[in-house]
Amino acid sequence: MTSHAIRILGIDPGLRRTGWGVIDVDGNRLIYVGCGSVESSEAAPLAERLLAIHEGLARVLGEFNPLEAAVEQTFVNKDGASTLKLGQARGVAMLAPAKFGIVVAEYAPNQVKKTVVGAGHADKNQIRVMLGVLLPKAAPKTPDAADALAIAITHAHHRQSAILKLKVAAAR
């Protein structure tokens, strides 16, 4: 990694499994660093599950020391209770990097798909195929880890505009 490389953490929030993916960006080069998922027990109370997500992401943040982070925005589904729980997991996924002093960018699922595959309605298999092209050394074991890498790639491609938006919002 050269001194100009930026390390990015992508997070795909989920209550059962939160995916994470770390890449380095050096100019236009994308370099795979690591990926995995943080799991919580479905039998555990909600607060314990959220704590498990936070602690797992804190370990990832401590190990990989990213400079920037990105999280997928929540999509609203028909089940309101599920959407609320996913929103809570997403809140923890945004809190963890913020506690490390890292600004967190947000990307819509369709924007992630469009950036990585070229189509906003791509399926998970198409994302995996493109990950193999863009990050040949990556071998995510779960769809959540693959999605997290796709979120990191999206941030790598859109980071300058995302950083500018955050600066403008902070100045208000």
- Bridge-based pairing of strands 68-72 and 6-12 is parallel
- The Cβ-side half-sphere exposure at 157, using a 13 Å CA radius, reads 16
Give SS3 for 115.
helix
What are the catalytic residues? Answer: 12, 72, 144
Tokens of 154: 């999206």
Tell me the C-alpha distance between 90 and 28, whole Å: 29
Res 65: pLDDT: 97
Res 30: pLDDT: 95
pLDDT at 26 over 60: yes
pTM of the model: 0.89
* 25, β-bridge pairs: 6, 30
**144-166 pLDDT per residue, tens:** 999 999 999 999 999 877 666 66
